[in-house]
Amino acid sequence: MSSPEIHPSALVAASAKLAGGVKVGAFAVVGEAVELGEDCIVHPHAMIYGPSRFGAGNVFHPFCVVGGDPQDYTFSGERTELHVGDKNIFREYVTVSRGTRKGSGVTRLGSENFLLAYVHVGHDCQIGSNNLFVNAATLAGHVTVEDFATIGALSPIHQFCRVGGYAYIGASTVIVQDVPPFSRIVTERETKSFGPNSIGLERKGFSAERIKTLQRAFRLLSRSKLNTSQALVEMRAQFADSEDVHRLVKFIEAAERGIVK
Protein backbone atom coordinates (compact mmCIF):
# COMPACT_ATOMS: atom_id res chain seq x y z
CA MET A 1 0.00 0.00 0.00
CA SER A 2 1.36 3.39 -0.99
CA SER A 3 2.07 6.17 1.50
CA PRO A 4 -0.42 9.02 1.97
CA GLU A 5 -0.25 11.87 -0.55
CA ILE A 6 -0.64 15.26 1.12
CA HIS A 7 -0.70 18.50 -0.83
CA PRO A 8 1.81 21.04 0.53
CA SER A 9 -0.96 23.54 1.30
CA ALA A 10 -3.08 21.07 3.28
CA LEU A 11 -3.17 21.23 7.09
CA VAL A 12 -2.83 17.82 8.72
CA ALA A 13 -2.61 17.68 12.52
CA ALA A 14 0.31 15.91 14.10
CA SER A 15 -2.03 13.51 15.92
CA ALA A 16 -3.94 12.57 12.76
CA LYS A 17 -3.43 9.01 11.49
CA LEU A 18 -3.54 8.48 7.74
CA ALA A 19 -3.45 4.97 6.32
CA GLY A 20 -1.85 4.01 3.04
CA GLY A 21 -3.37 5.35 -0.14
CA VAL A 22 -4.99 8.37 1.51
CA LYS A 23 -4.96 11.53 -0.63
CA VAL A 24 -5.37 14.99 0.88
CA GLY A 25 -5.94 17.86 -1.54
CA ALA A 26 -4.98 21.52 -1.51
CA PHE A 27 -6.12 23.60 1.46
CA ALA A 28 -7.90 20.66 3.06
CA VAL A 29 -7.88 20.31 6.85
CA VAL A 30 -7.45 17.04 8.74
CA GLY A 31 -7.72 17.87 12.43
CA GLU A 32 -6.52 16.45 15.71
CA ALA A 33 -7.38 12.83 16.53
CA VAL A 34 -8.68 12.03 13.05
CA GLU A 35 -8.07 8.51 11.73
CA LEU A 36 -8.50 7.94 7.99
CA GLY A 37 -8.57 4.39 6.64
CA GLU A 38 -6.96 3.19 3.45
CA ASP A 39 -7.68 4.99 0.16
CA CYS A 40 -9.75 7.80 1.62
CA ILE A 41 -9.82 10.86 -0.63
CA VAL A 42 -9.97 14.32 0.90
CA HIS A 43 -10.64 16.80 -1.88
CA PRO A 44 -9.39 20.41 -1.79
CA HIS A 45 -10.96 22.57 0.94
CA ALA A 46 -12.65 19.65 2.71
CA MET A 47 -12.49 19.78 6.52
CA ILE A 48 -12.38 16.75 8.82
CA TYR A 49 -12.28 17.16 12.57
CA GLY A 50 -11.95 14.78 15.48
CA PRO A 51 -11.92 12.82 17.52
CA SER A 52 -13.23 10.81 14.58
CA ARG A 53 -12.48 7.46 12.98
CA PHE A 54 -13.12 6.53 9.35
CA GLY A 55 -12.82 3.23 7.54
CA ALA A 56 -11.48 2.72 4.03
CA GLY A 57 -12.47 4.41 0.80
CA ASN A 58 -14.41 7.38 2.13
CA VAL A 59 -14.58 10.43 -0.14
CA PHE A 60 -14.80 13.99 1.17
CA HIS A 61 -15.73 16.65 -1.39
CA PRO A 62 -14.84 20.36 -1.21
CA PHE A 63 -16.21 22.40 1.69
CA CYS A 64 -17.78 19.54 3.60
CA VAL A 65 -17.25 19.69 7.38
CA VAL A 66 -17.25 16.19 8.84
CA GLY A 67 -16.66 15.54 12.54
CA GLY A 68 -17.28 19.09 13.67
CA ASP A 69 -18.43 20.10 17.15
CA PRO A 70 -22.06 19.24 17.92
CA GLN A 71 -24.52 22.06 17.35
CA ASP A 72 -25.79 21.92 20.92
CA TYR A 73 -25.92 24.66 23.57
CA THR A 74 -24.71 22.29 26.30
CA PHE A 75 -21.51 21.29 24.50
CA SER A 76 -18.50 22.72 26.31
CA GLY A 77 -15.54 21.05 24.63
CA GLU A 78 -15.71 17.60 26.21
CA ARG A 79 -14.45 14.61 24.22
CA THR A 80 -17.09 13.22 21.90
CA GLU A 81 -16.57 11.21 18.74
CA LEU A 82 -17.65 10.33 15.21
CA HIS A 83 -17.30 6.75 13.93
CA VAL A 84 -17.72 6.08 10.20
CA GLY A 85 -17.46 2.89 8.17
CA ASP A 86 -16.23 2.39 4.60
CA LYS A 87 -16.97 3.95 1.19
CA ASN A 88 -19.20 6.78 2.27
CA ILE A 89 -19.45 9.83 -0.01
CA PHE A 90 -19.71 13.29 1.55
CA ARG A 91 -20.56 15.85 -1.13
CA GLU A 92 -20.11 19.62 -1.03
CA TYR A 93 -21.14 21.45 2.16
CA VAL A 94 -22.25 18.31 3.98
CA THR A 95 -22.00 18.69 7.76
CA VAL A 96 -21.76 15.79 10.20
CA SER A 97 -21.48 16.53 13.92
CA ARG A 98 -19.85 14.45 16.63
CA GLY A 99 -21.91 13.22 19.59
CA THR A 100 -22.68 14.86 22.91
CA ARG A 101 -22.11 13.71 26.48
CA LYS A 102 -25.83 13.79 27.25
CA GLY A 103 -26.43 11.61 24.18
CA SER A 104 -24.52 8.50 23.24
CA GLY A 105 -21.29 10.47 23.01
CA VAL A 106 -20.76 9.10 19.50
CA THR A 107 -22.33 9.86 16.14
CA ARG A 108 -22.16 6.77 13.91
CA LEU A 109 -22.44 6.16 10.17
CA GLY A 110 -22.13 2.73 8.62
CA SER A 111 -20.82 2.08 5.12
CA GLU A 112 -21.68 3.12 1.57
CA ASN A 113 -23.94 5.99 2.48
CA PHE A 114 -24.28 8.76 -0.12
CA LEU A 115 -24.76 12.24 1.32
CA LEU A 116 -25.51 14.81 -1.39
CA ALA A 117 -24.74 18.52 -1.13
CA TYR A 118 -25.88 20.42 1.99
CA VAL A 119 -27.01 17.34 3.92
CA HIS A 120 -26.74 17.72 7.70
CA VAL A 121 -26.36 14.84 10.18
CA GLY A 122 -26.81 16.10 13.72
CA HIS A 123 -25.08 15.01 16.91
CA ASP A 124 -25.64 11.51 18.27
CA CYS A 125 -27.33 10.27 15.09
CA GLN A 126 -27.04 6.53 14.45
CA ILE A 127 -26.96 5.86 10.71
CA GLY A 128 -26.77 2.43 9.13
CA SER A 129 -25.47 1.57 5.67
CA ASN A 130 -26.46 2.04 2.02
CA ASN A 131 -28.65 5.06 2.67
CA LEU A 132 -29.22 7.93 0.25
CA PHE A 133 -29.53 11.45 1.66
CA VAL A 134 -30.64 13.79 -1.11
CA ASN A 135 -29.65 17.46 -1.23
CA ALA A 136 -30.31 19.38 2.01
CA ALA A 137 -31.88 16.46 3.85
CA THR A 138 -31.54 17.52 7.49
CA LEU A 139 -31.28 15.22 10.50
CA ALA A 140 -31.64 16.75 13.95
CA GLY A 141 -29.84 15.23 16.91
CA HIS A 142 -30.36 11.62 18.04
CA VAL A 143 -32.02 10.48 14.79
CA THR A 144 -31.73 6.81 13.85
CA VAL A 145 -31.72 5.70 10.21
CA GLU A 146 -31.49 1.99 9.52
CA ASP A 147 -30.25 0.59 6.15
CA PHE A 148 -31.20 1.25 2.51
CA ALA A 149 -33.43 4.25 3.28
CA THR A 150 -33.87 7.31 1.06
CA ILE A 151 -34.32 10.75 2.61
CA GLY A 152 -35.60 13.18 -0.02
CA ALA A 153 -34.29 16.65 -0.76
CA LEU A 154 -35.10 19.41 1.75
CA SER A 155 -36.66 16.93 4.18
CA PRO A 156 -36.08 17.68 7.88
CA ILE A 157 -36.29 14.90 10.47
CA HIS A 158 -37.14 15.82 14.06
CA GLN A 159 -34.81 14.83 16.88
CA PHE A 160 -35.11 11.28 18.27
CA CYS A 161 -37.15 10.07 15.28
CA ARG A 162 -36.34 6.74 13.66
CA VAL A 163 -36.38 5.88 9.95
CA GLY A 164 -36.78 2.20 9.22
CA GLY A 165 -34.88 0.21 6.64
CA TYR A 166 -35.84 0.56 2.97
CA ALA A 167 -38.17 3.48 3.74
CA TYR A 168 -38.59 6.26 1.18
CA ILE A 169 -39.20 9.86 2.27
CA GLY A 170 -40.18 12.14 -0.60
CA ALA A 171 -38.78 15.60 -1.14
CA SER A 172 -39.79 18.43 1.21
CA THR A 173 -41.49 16.06 3.64
CA VAL A 174 -41.35 17.06 7.32
CA ILE A 175 -40.86 14.05 9.61
CA VAL A 176 -41.89 14.41 13.26
CA GLN A 177 -42.73 10.75 13.98
CA ASP A 178 -41.05 7.41 13.30
CA VAL A 179 -41.09 6.16 9.70
CA PRO A 180 -41.80 2.39 9.50
CA PRO A 181 -39.53 0.13 7.47
CA PHE A 182 -40.49 -0.42 3.81
CA SER A 183 -42.89 2.54 3.81
CA ARG A 184 -43.22 5.43 1.37
CA ILE A 185 -43.83 8.78 3.05
CA VAL A 186 -44.58 11.85 0.94
CA THR A 187 -46.13 15.16 1.94
CA GLU A 188 -49.31 16.32 0.20
CA ARG A 189 -48.69 18.14 -3.06
CA GLU A 190 -50.95 21.16 -3.53
CA THR A 191 -48.90 23.12 -6.02
CA LYS A 192 -51.20 25.16 -8.26
CA SER A 193 -50.93 27.43 -11.24
CA PHE A 194 -52.19 30.99 -10.87
CA GLY A 195 -51.99 31.88 -14.53
CA PRO A 196 -49.24 33.71 -16.38
CA ASN A 197 -46.48 35.62 -14.63
CA SER A 198 -48.02 38.94 -15.71
CA ILE A 199 -45.81 41.34 -13.74
CA GLY A 200 -42.66 39.49 -14.69
CA LEU A 201 -43.66 39.40 -18.35
CA GLU A 202 -44.41 43.12 -18.32
CA ARG A 203 -40.97 43.82 -16.85
CA LYS A 204 -39.43 41.77 -19.63
CA GLY A 205 -41.09 43.88 -22.31
CA PHE A 206 -44.28 41.95 -23.09
CA SER A 207 -47.04 44.21 -24.36
CA ALA A 208 -50.38 44.45 -22.59
CA GLU A 209 -51.99 42.66 -25.55
CA ARG A 210 -49.59 39.70 -25.37
CA ILE A 211 -50.18 39.36 -21.64
CA LYS A 212 -53.96 39.55 -22.05
CA THR A 213 -53.84 36.83 -24.68
CA LEU A 214 -51.84 34.56 -22.36
CA GLN A 215 -54.27 35.24 -19.53
CA ARG A 216 -57.16 34.11 -21.72
CA ALA A 217 -55.24 31.00 -22.78
CA PHE A 218 -54.47 30.07 -19.18
CA ARG A 219 -58.11 30.50 -18.24
CA LEU A 220 -59.02 27.95 -20.89
CA LEU A 221 -56.34 25.61 -19.62
CA SER A 222 -57.02 25.69 -15.89
CA ARG A 223 -60.36 27.33 -15.18
CA SER A 224 -62.67 26.02 -17.87
CA LYS A 225 -64.51 22.71 -17.69
CA LEU A 226 -62.35 21.34 -20.50
CA ASN A 227 -59.75 18.67 -19.88
CA THR A 228 -56.19 19.40 -20.96
CA SER A 229 -56.51 17.83 -24.42
CA GLN A 230 -59.74 19.68 -25.14
CA ALA A 231 -58.25 22.93 -23.85
CA LEU A 232 -55.25 22.58 -26.17
CA VAL A 233 -57.51 22.14 -29.20
CA GLU A 234 -59.46 25.24 -28.20
CA MET A 235 -56.32 27.24 -27.55
CA ARG A 236 -54.98 26.43 -31.00
CA ALA A 237 -58.29 27.50 -32.56
CA GLN A 238 -58.81 30.72 -30.60
CA PHE A 239 -55.22 31.94 -30.59
CA ALA A 240 -53.85 30.70 -33.90
CA ASP A 241 -51.98 33.96 -34.46
CA SER A 242 -50.22 34.02 -31.08
CA GLU A 243 -46.67 32.71 -31.06
CA ASP A 244 -46.76 32.77 -27.25
CA VAL A 245 -49.79 30.49 -27.08
CA HIS A 246 -48.32 28.24 -29.76
CA ARG A 247 -45.18 27.90 -27.62
CA LEU A 248 -47.30 27.16 -24.54
CA VAL A 249 -49.30 24.47 -26.38
CA LYS A 250 -46.18 22.77 -27.76
CA PHE A 251 -44.63 22.66 -24.30
CA ILE A 252 -47.73 21.08 -22.77
CA GLU A 253 -48.02 18.53 -25.56
CA ALA A 254 -44.45 17.40 -24.89
CA ALA A 255 -45.00 16.94 -21.14
CA GLU A 256 -44.33 13.39 -19.96
CA ARG A 257 -45.09 13.95 -16.28
CA GLY A 258 -48.19 16.10 -16.62
CA ILE A 259 -48.32 19.83 -15.90
CA VAL A 260 -49.07 22.03 -12.89
CA LYS A 261 -52.63 23.41 -13.31
CB of 175 closer than 8 Å to CB of 161: yes
Annotation says 83 is catalytic: no
Half-sphere exposure of 256 (CA within 13 A, CB side): 0
Q: Which residue is catalytic, options 99, 103, 141, 152?
A: 141
Catalytic residue among 124, 128, 142, 152: 124
Calpha distance 9→84 (Å, rounded) = 26
Selected catalytic residue, list 43, 61, 83, 123: 123
Q: Respond yes or no: is residue 141 known to be catalytic.
A: yes
CA distances (Å), origin 39, targets 30, 114, 150, 261: 15, 17, 26, 50
In the residue annotation, 123 being an active-site residue is answered as yes
Q: Beta strands of 20-80 (E only): which ranges?
A: 23-24, 29-30, 34-36, 41-42, 47-48, 52-54, 59-60, 65-68
**Active site (catalytic) residues:** 123-124, 141
